[in-house]
Amino acid sequence: MDLLNTLVDKGLRRELPTREEALALLATSDDELLDVVAAAGKVRRHWFGRRVKLNYLVNLKSGLCPEDCSYCSQRLGSTTGILKYTWLKPDEASRAAAAGLAGGAKRVCLVASGRGPTDRDVDRVAGTIKAIKEQNEGVEVCACLGLLSDGQAERLREAGADAYNHNLNTSEATYGDITTTHTYADRVDTVQKAHAAGLSACSGLIAGMGESDEDLVDVVYSLRELDPDSVPVNFLIPVEGTPLAKEWHLTPQRCLRILAMVRFVCPDVEVRIAGGREVHLRTMQPLALHLANSIFLGDYLTTEGQAGKADLEMIADAGFEVEGTDHVTLPEHRAGGGCHEGAGACGSAPEAPQVSHQVGPQVGPQVGPQVGPQVNEARTDLVAVRRRGAGTDLAPNA
């Protein structure tokens, strides 16, 4: 059985591919790209149908971060000219969230720059969560506040938070190359704290920082072991004024292969196309909907995204539908909380029948030499600092 058929069968059984299979997928050629998308699309549709979940970011506190993450425009010493403001008041954050919800978003992601929240910060965010929940029935709220101390995840859960986001970003082996003010282990610890508190864990990666295929596979396999319910896949936005401003390694084709790899390794998880899709996928964004079942609507934390109206048109034109609040995102076996006992709980399901799905020509591990990231043309014209929405007097993009 060829590579793609093997990956489809494993994806339908929630069985972990081998590292060699994941690497072989990343090494497939552009000529085989549509076969890759078709194969991963079978797994995506099996677990999530044609639904697309919309998420909306609210940047509660922008800039002035003491951490030195090389990819981030809010980092210590940043010269990017981004919006800088302190905490939004609960009513301000609720108004910002309302714009995204009116545009079709199902989840609001409350984000604040910084190493991690103080207990006072947690109280502040708790008030914001309550305000949003009271004014919007059925909304999901995810908090993203940095590294958590003992007891803080529980307090957020008590305040009504549904989820907590903290990305691993890159492999453990290369983590020290992008950040020195905290460790990879710190990030793992925060995801585990969220799990333990009963929050839905959200953790993902950033592709395009100069990493190898092995690094990409390492971080995605680490995510599989942590077992988050959602995996955001960010594509580096090389913002001027950050150390990674000259890193343009991604092509639309490579982005699609990365998303396909994530789908096969995490078949029944909400895979979300996050920051950078407009910059790197560009006109191939609709194809990515066949791999991921979730996107961010509108703008990001410090940069502008595609117009919200264009997002909705893209989803409809591609034959997908926006997921409503009346629909549970995750498959039943995950939504019931039964998949958080370690990697084995969401691993192979031997009772499932062997299913064969022929998906095009033979593609196997011997597809050619392993190749690194392809250098993409710099598209600085597609990178715009956010000047609207939260922290401004202008209407948000939603």
**Residues recognised as catalytic:** 65, 69, 72, 109, 142, 202, 272
CA atoms within 13 A on the CB side of 257: 26
Radius of gyration (C-alpha) of the chain in whole angstroms: 20
User: How many CA atoms lie within 13 Å of 339's alpha carbon, on the beta-carbon side?
Assistant: 25
* Distance in angstroms (rounded) separating the CA atoms of residues 307 and 321: 18
- Residues 72 and 238: their CA atoms lie apart, in Å, by 9
Determine phi and psi for 395, rounding to 5 degrees: -65, 145
Let me know how long the chain is. 398
Burial environment of residue 308 by CB neighbours within 10 A (0 to 12, 13 to 18, 19 or more): buried
d(CA 3, CA 73): 39
Q: Residues 6 or more apart from 297 whose CB is under 8 A from it?
A: 54, 55, 56, 100, 103, 104, 105, 308, 311, 398
Phi/psi-derived region of residue 313, left when phi > 0, alpha when psi is between -120 and 50, beta in every other case: alpha
User: Which one-letter DSSP state was computed for residue 5?
Assistant: H
Buried-exposed string 272-306: b where 16+ CB fall within 10 A, e elsewhere: bbbbbbbbbbeebbebbbbbbbbbbbbbbbbbbbb
What CA–CA distance (Å, rounded) separates 225 from 151? 23
Contact between 276 and 208 (Cβ < 8 Å): yes
From CA 18, how far away is CA 104, in angstroms rounded?
Answer: 38
DSSP state for residue 396 in the 8-state scheme: P
Q: Give, in degrees to the nearest 5, the angle at Cα 189 between 110 and 93.
A: 10
What angle do the packed helices 213-226 and 184-196 form, to 10 degrees?
A: 30
Beta-strand pair 163-165/140-144: parallel
What dihedral angle (degrees, nearest 10) is formed by the CA atoms of 340, 293, 172, 28? 130
